[in-house]
Amino acid sequence: MADEVIRISNLNVFYKNRKRKLFSKADKKIQALHDVSVTMEEGEVLAIAGESGCGKSTLARAIVGINKDYTGEIWQKYDRPQMVFQDPYNSLNPAKKIGWLLEEPLRVDKERQWTKEERRARIEEIMKDIELPLSMLERYPSQLSGGQRQRVCIGIALMRSPKVLIADEPVSALDVTIQAQIMELMTNLHKKLGISIIFISHDLRVVYQMSDHVLIMKNGRVVEYGKTRDVYRNPQADYTKALLKAAGIT
């Protein structure tokens, strides 16, 4: 049995209601997640699926430490995972070249002092992993396609060799052909690096291709959880059945 890398127990996440009434004395908190519990094993791909607003990204942000207002437990075997966001263009500083963007995680690394030669070698290694030519290091994000920008975002997340990667709707902003290429890249990186991946998506067809286990969420609650094939072949929750039917899977 593989070791656990993440264990979440009875997680409740809150955020402030920014639409509070005038002259109200305090910000009223809104509960975004309700008693979420899930475990993730070393080397697996765990998908978090559900409609927009169900709490997928809220859960991911709690895991990486962005959402800090919560009760319950988030235990992690390793340091906080790295995250790849949905929109590759807005994730990249448009004023910086790709080489600078890739090097930045190493420049600010507090655990290790990287020499210039080491940083360059690591950049070249990552460029090979994300299947981009070194000539692109001198380009700006605006000079790359959407798929190329997303590859760069994945590369930045991998620069310091994280054990866990969270991909928050990483292909939803891309056309179908490019989606398939990015999914293939992530599958290859998963196999090569042995990295654990949390894959967030509302597309159940993508989820089936990518994941070992799937967590189905609705209104901030876990509706169903299990091995992906088992959930798809024999869904227990009516909501899961409805999602699969809407996706044309059942």
For the cut 80, the answer to whether the pLDDT of residue 140 exceeds it is yes
Per residue in 22-49, pLDDT (tens digit) is 555 556 789 999 999 999 999 999 999 9
Question: What percent of the chain stands above pLDDT 70?
Answer: 95
pTM: 0.90
Q: pLDDT of 189-205, one tens digit each?
A: 999 999 999 999 999 99
Delineate the domains of the chain, giving CATH numbers in brackets.
Answer: 1-81+163-250 (3.40.50.300), 91-161 (no CATH)
Residues 171, 47: Cα–Cα separation, whole Å: 14
Strands 164-168 and 82-84 turn out to be parallel
Asked if the model's pLDDT at residue 89 lies above 90, the reply is no
Each residue of 97-116: pLDDT tens digit? 999 999 999 999 988 999 99
Predicted pLDDT at 173 = 79
Please state the rounded mean pLDDT for residues 13-19: 81
CB-based contacts of 110: which residues, under 8 Å, 6+ apart? none
How far apart CA 62 and CA 31 sit, in angstroms, is 13
Say what the pLDDT of residue 148 is.
Answer: 95
Q: Is 19's pLDDT higher than 70?
A: no
Q: What is the mean pLDDT of the chain?
A: 92
How far apart CA 88 and CA 34 sit, in angstroms, is 30
